């Protein structure tokens, strides 16, 4: 499953680097149970809401401090739907 993370200016200022680092670490930890591909993207049109993360057609807004919970509650759940 592909997960796009905004790396545009506004999301960068809001902590996209920290979100990417958290998602990268967790993707490696869960590679045995989920096939997750992380990819950078530029503006998704929701700059004022935080770090934009797109999974399939859904765009979410993730704060760096919430990235680990988001990964477990949303990304792993969505990855399970691919099976």
| Total structural domains within the chain | 1
Percentage of residues in the chain with pLDDT exceeding 70?
96
Evaluate whether residue 16 is within a structural domain.
yes
Q: Is residue 67 in a domain? A: no
Mean pLDDT, rounded, of the chain? 91
On whether residue 72 sits in a domain, the answer given is: no
Residue 75 within a domain: no
The CATH number assigned to the domain holding 55 equals 3.40.30.10
pLDDT in tens, 20-49: 999 999 999 998 888 999 999 998 887 778
* 32-38: Cβ within 8 A, 24+ apart: 33/76, 34/1, 34/75, 34/76, 34/79, 34/80, 35/1, 35/79, 35/82, 36/1, 36/3, 36/75, 36/79, 37/1, 37/2, 37/3, 38/3, 38/5
Is residue 31 assigned to a domain?
yes
Mean pLDDT, residues 53-70 taken together? 95
Q: What is the pLDDT of residue 82?
A: 56
Structural domain harbouring 41: 2-62
**What predicted TM-score, i.e. pTM, was given to this entire model?**
0.91
């Amino acid at each position: 499953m592909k997960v796009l993370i905004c790396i545009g200016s506004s999301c960068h200022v809001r902590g996209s680097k920290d979100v990417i680092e958290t998602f990268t670490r967790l993707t490696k930890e869960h590679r045995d149970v989920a096939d997750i591909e992380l990819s950078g993207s530029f503006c998704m049109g929701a700059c004022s809401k935080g770090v934009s993360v797109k999974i399939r057609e859904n765009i979410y807004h993730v704060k760096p401090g919430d990235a680990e919970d988001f990964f477990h509650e949303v990304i792993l759940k969505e990855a399970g739907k691919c099976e």
